[in-house]
Structure 1
Amino acid sequence: MPRTALIVIDMLNTYAHEDAEHLVPSVRDALPGITTLLKHARASDSPVIYVNDNFGEWRSHHGEILRAALDGRHADLVEPVAPDENSLFVVKARHSAFFETPLAYLLGQLEARQLVLCGQVTEQCVLYSALDAHIRHFDVVVAADAVAHIDADLAQAALRMMRSNMSADIRTVDDITFDAPR
């Protein structure tokens, strides 16, 4: 069985953008699934990697991104999923978690071959990250009840595309397991 890593996409968010009013209700729905995945991954000592936008702040690092999100309009959506001291962090500037980031190298160092994707936004960053993981020959699992969307129809289409075009395994959180501790 390949080593599994949990990839948490863009959950450190200030929600100070034009799509926030459409996104926030979906994030509230996905939050229990994301927190469950975090709990299970951490309990199994599986790598937990946060991949987050830098929001155009080129001097930002994970502490600044987290602080801005916790100071934002919806800290209640950030606090339950905040990174712990063992979490890894990759800053991205574009939609894909892989585009011009060290994520592929990090996953190689961790010997991870299977990725569980959760976070936001299903029809954007999750979709593009799944595609880039697929073309890098990772086994991709998407937690359908732990991803948030702006547009429900596009999100459902994105999940179908990930399953059909990228061989992603679309599962519910209850059907996802992580490695036993090494």
Structure 2
Amino acid sequence: MTHAVLIVIDMLNTYEHEDADALVPSVREALPAVQELLKRARSASAPVIYVNDNFGRWRSHHGELVEAARAGRHRELVDPIAPDEDSFFIVKARHSIFYETPLAYLLGQLEARHLVMCGQVTEQCILYSALDAHIRHFDVTIAPEAVAHIDPELAQAALRMMETNMSTSIRPLQDITFDSPKS
């Protein structure tokens, strides 16, 4: 049985959208924490699943999406967290990592019940994904240092909502491990 799974949400980004200038500074701040979570998950042999927007490229596969992100405005935010050959990759089209994706099936195959989420955007995709995980009875943990936002006030409100209304464990990065069921 898998104890915890790391889910990296929308970190492969071209940063060619209207909110990019507001988002990039927060991504820069979150990047070291995302890198640390990736390191911990991989060291513990925990599954790493990238769930990423498809940028409207319906004929692309994950390698093309990674290359598009690398060719975007901020390759330095993509290269340090790019998927390795052992990572799973799921393409999504909407805010939630579960909406119209095979993620729930994959998590079932992995016998995962605990999801550690990181990525962007806290007040959008992270929030909606945490809600969908909650209604599917997954335990969710988020390190605030490992999520990026566009609007800091909305991000703080989203984290409070996730913790209060969705039983999400909001914990400091230093407290997150991948070696126990309640990590």
TM range (shorter): over 0.9
Question: Partners in 2 of 1:73 and 1:52 — Cα distance?
Answer: 17
Does 1:54 find its partner at 2:54?
yes
Q: TM-score, normalised by structure 1?
A: 0.97
Structure 1 unaligned runs (5+)?
Answer: none
How high is the sequence identity, in percent, across the aligned residues? Answer: 73
The residue number in structure 1 matching 2:44 is 44
The residue number in structure 2 matching 1:130 is 130
1:179 is displaced (CA, Å) by: 2.1
Question: Partners in 2 of 1:152 and 1:63 — Cα distance?
Answer: 32
CA contact (8 A) 2:2 2:110 kept: no
1:81 is displaced (CA, Å) by: 0.3
Q: Secondary structure at the match of 2:83?
A: coil
Q: Secondary structure at the match of 2:99?
A: coil
1:3 is displaced (CA, Å) by: 1.3
Q: Secondary structure at the match of 1:96?
A: coil
The residue number in structure 1 matching 2:35 is 35
Q: CA RMSD in A?
A: 1.1
> Which aligned pairs between 1:95-114 and structure 2 lie closer than 5 A?
95-114=95-114
1:129 is displaced (CA, Å) by: 0.3
CA contact (8 A) 2:10 2:51 kept: yes
**Residues 142-176 of structure 1: per-residue CA shift (max 9 Å, x gap):** 11100000000000000000000000000121110
Q: Secondary structure at the match of 2:177?
A: coil
Aligned residues: 180
**Residues 39-68 of structure 1: per-residue CA shift (max 9 Å, x gap):** 000000000000000011111111010000
CA contact (8 A) 2:41 2:48 kept: yes
**Residues 115-141 of structure 1: per-residue CA shift (max 9 Å, x gap):** 000000000000000000000000010
Question: Partners in 2 of 1:179 and 1:84 — Cα distance?
Answer: 21
Structure 2 unaligned runs (5+)?
Answer: none
Question: Partners in 2 of 1:169 and 1:158 — Cα distance?
Answer: 13
CA contact (8 A) 2:9 2:118 kept: yes
The residue number in structure 2 matching 1:172 is 172
Question: Partners in 2 of 1:18 and 1:130 — Cα distance?
Answer: 24
Question: Partners in 2 of 1:90 and 1:115 — Cα distance?
Answer: 15
